[in-house]
Structure formats: C-alpha cells, structure tokens
Structure 1
Amino acid sequence: MNYPNIVKGSFINRPNRFIAYVQILSGDGEEKTVICHVKNTGRCKELLLPGVTVLLQYHPEASVLGRKTEYSLIGVYKKREEDTLLINMDSQAPNLAAYEWILGSESVCDVKREVTYGQSRFDLAFQLIGKDESGCVTRTPAFMEVKGVTLENNNHALFPDAPTIRGIKHIEELIHAKNDGYEAYLLFVIQMKGMTGFSPNEETQPEFKEALKKALAAGVHVLAYDCQITENSMIVDQPVPLNLD
C-alpha cells in the first residue's frame, strides 16, 4: 500500500485521541503549525513524544471531501538508544496490507473483506485451495482477523499496547469458527522492521495471552509478520517468531 503526498514534521502535542499538532515547513520555507488527524486511537505514548519526527499525509482535496483536517499522521521515527526506528502507526494500514498480501497467494481464492460471522466481523474471508488424497481440488472456507502492532521493546514486538476486550472477543469468535469447521487465522501485522520476536503483552493484559493460548490449542493459526516500511509505503514481508513464554 502506498501513501501519496508525504510531508515530514515535528510533533508538538496531542490534545485528544483524534488530533495532533505538528510543525512543518510550508511551501515557501516558513515553519507553520498544522492540525492533523491521528490515524490511530491507541495511546501511543511511547511514540508521540514532543520533538520526534513524524510523517503526515497531505490531502489536497480535503475541503472538497469535507475533511476537517488537511493532514493525517501516519508514521513516526522512534528514537532509541542505539538508532531510530521507522514505525507506521496508521491503524487502517494492516488490514489493507494483509489483503494485498493474501491476494498474492496461489493457495487462496475468493478473498473478501469485512465479513460478518456470529457476533463479530472478521477482516478477511477466503477459500483455501488444496487437494485430497485422490488429487481432487478442495476448497476450505477460512476467516482471518488482523491486528496491527506498533509497540516494541528491544526489538521485540508486543500486542496490545492497551487492554482490548474487543480483541479477546475476536479470538473467541475465531475459536468458534474453527469448531464450526472453518480454518481460522489471527495475523499480527508488525508495522516495522527488524523485530526478533513477537509476544502478547502480558504486563498490559494477561487475559489476552491466555486467550491466545486457548486459540492455539483449538487449532487457530496464529501468525506474526513484519513489514517493509518506507515513508510512503508498507508491505507485509517476513514471519516473526511467536513467543508465549
């Protein structure tokens, strides 16, 4: 997935979950402060610190579309002791990136987005293509729920960054789908590169870790993949080891 019209800025503050103030350079080289829509309603306190470099997407058609802001905050350079890590923090990006990724697989077909099942709406539904013992082509229905990951500690990705009752509910629905004969997948899209592993954030929500263990025991496929990140793109890339210890 790609972002046109990317602008760099310096983060000032975030008065609420939905907007932030960022300082950028105008076309004539003058500094100005702009109001941005934050495309992530999570806390992100470890990312959005005063003075950090952030990435904004400029929307030249904002007034035509009735947008309240001309800019969306979609990425941040996280300062670490040894380096600076580029993180995509657009909470809408993982679903689209996962959709593009799964479309590239030869073992799936009939991919659909936002499909209702039970009391939940899963991000993706598709048919798994295989062969039975006689060599005949088979198709097995499957669901996938996608979670974006922006929290890391010492090159280890963690989810969630805040308690999520909704996330546990999705896991429970995936277990129900598996018991009903569907294949079920939980995909963690790590919105950065260079992670050595992925774990549920037990310190923040131990119940999520227990739900994840229950899902694995029920046969739900739990996957974690990192992404190739640039200032104007994000592509699902390589698997990252899952660590539940």
Structure 2
Amino acid sequence: MEFEPGLECGVLIKRYKRFLADVRLQDGSEVTIHCPNTGSMKNCQFPDQQVWFSTSDNPKRKYSRTWELMETPVGDYIGINTGRANQLAADAINTKVIQELVGYHYIKREVKYGSENSRIDILLTSSGKPDCYVEVKSCTLLEDGKGYFPDSVTTRGQKHLRELIQMVENGHRAVLLFVVQHTGIDTVSPAKHIDPAYASLFYEAMYQGVEVLAYKAALSPTEFVLTDKVNIL
C-alpha cells in the first residue's frame, strides 16, 4: 500500500472525543484531523511526537485529514488507522506474503455471515476447497515488550470469535489474522488483563480449530506493507 503523494506530518497535541486529534503543522498552525481508531489507543498517543496524515479531496468531509501514523519516543512507528488492516491483509494475500492463505482463486471483502449478523473481513473461495473465513484485527498495544489484543474490552471482538467457531463447526476454514501495526511488536497475545472474556474465547476458538496468524507491517510515511510472520504467545 503506497501513499501518493506521501503523507504530511505534524506534531500531536492531543486526541479527544475519540475520533478527533489536534495537530501542530510545520508552519506552526494547528489543525483538527480525523482519528480512525475505535479502540482506547493505549500506549499509542504521544503528545509532542511526530504524526503523519493523509488528505482527502472529498468536499463532503468535515475533516479532510486522516491520522495514519504515529512515531513513539523510541522511534517505533504505529499505524493508527485500523481501517488499513483489512487492506494490508488483502494485499498480502494477493501477493502471497501470507503463505498459509495461498491457493484460493477468489477473494471477497465484507461478506455477511454467521448467526449473529456479522460481516467477515475477507472470504477466500476456490473450487474443491472449504471456504476460508478470515477475521482481521489490528494489533497496536505494546506493553513490557509484548504485543496484545485487544486494547479495551471488545464485545464485538468476542462476537467475531463465536462466529469463527461456528464456521469451523459448519465445515469451513476459519482464520483470526492479527495485522501488527506497531514496529516494536514481535509477539502477540490475547490481553487477558484487559478483556478476560475475549481471552477465554480466544483459547476456546483455537481449541475448536480456528487458526490464529499474525503478520507484521513495515510502516513508513510513504508505504505500509505486511512483511514478516509474528509468533502467537
């Protein structure tokens, strides 16, 4: 995923009202940008550190700028836009970076499925093979040198795990794919200390046959791309 033109940069002042952030530009002026992240963004907000944002030419948007990247005080990069995770995953599948998902002829996005009225992020199909349901999650929480998901209680995430279990019971293949959008994260674990219910369902899903994968993104102001597999702890 390339940004053409490249992202613009500024310095974070603060994030507030969940979906807004104030940024100081290089000329000293201040702007409000859209923050496309529904999580708590724990350990992902660093006032006075550099941020990068994209700009839309859609005149209907109230805030034309979208927060994409955060630099941490130690020089790591964090992908703030959780919506990028699905695109990163789809690109990595198409380019055969995710070897575990090679061999399917068709890829569909946002397909309705399950008994709890969900939408699967990616559905892979091919004649003669079970359908593969891929649920994508963006992982950005780094604590004590380890990556965790989620960064806040997620009833929606719990629902998705139940749906994946149901797909396995129905004879399909189900995959939980963590897209690691933090260059400092090298392992991923369920955040039992944040959402014990999610962690419990995570382990149940694995026991029932849901596959769990994690791939790390290389992040820069010009390009986001999935590169390396990350261990699940």
Q: TM-score, normalised by structure 2?
A: 0.91
| 1:233 is the counterpart of 2:223 | yes
Root-mean-square deviation (CA, aligned residues, Å) is 1.5
In structure 1, distance between residues paired with 2:44 and 2:185: 16
| 1:204 is the counterpart of 2:194 | yes
Higher share in strand = 1
Partner of 1:41: 38
Q: Give the SS at the match of 2:130.
A: strand
1:123 aligned to 121, 124, 129, which one?
121
Partner of 1:67: 61
User: Where do 1:102-181 residues align within 5 Å?
Assistant: 102-105=93-96, 106-118=102-114, 119-127=117-125, 138-181=128-171
Deviation at 1:194, TM superposition (A): 4.5
Partner of 1:134: none
Partner of 1:132: none
Structure 1 runs (4+) greater than 6 angstroms displaced = none
The one-letter code matched in structure 1 to 2:61 is: R
Deviation at 1:192, TM superposition (A): 2.4
Q: TM-score, normalised by structure 1?
A: 0.87
Q: Give the SS at the match of 2:16.
A: coil
User: Which 10-residue stretch deviates more, 42-51 or 86-95?
Assistant: 42-51
Deviation at 1:223, TM superposition (A): 0.7
Q: Do 1:23 and 1:31's aligned partners in 2 also have CA atoms closer than 8 Å? A: yes
Q: Runs of 5+ in structure 2 lacking a partner?
A: 97-101
| 1:16 is the counterpart of 2:17 | yes
Deviation at 1:196, TM superposition (A): 2.9
Relative contact order, higher structure (CA 8 A, sep 6+):
2
Larger radius of gyration: 1
The one-letter code matched in structure 2 to 1:4 is: E
2:81 aligned to 90, 93, 103, which one?
90
Q: Runs of 5+ in structure 1 lacking a partner?
A: 130-137
User: How much identity, in percent, do the aligned residues show?
Assistant: 29
Q: Do 2:121 and 2:135's aligned partners in 1 also have CA atoms closer than 8 Å? A: yes
How many pairs were matched up? 225
Partner of 2:70: 76
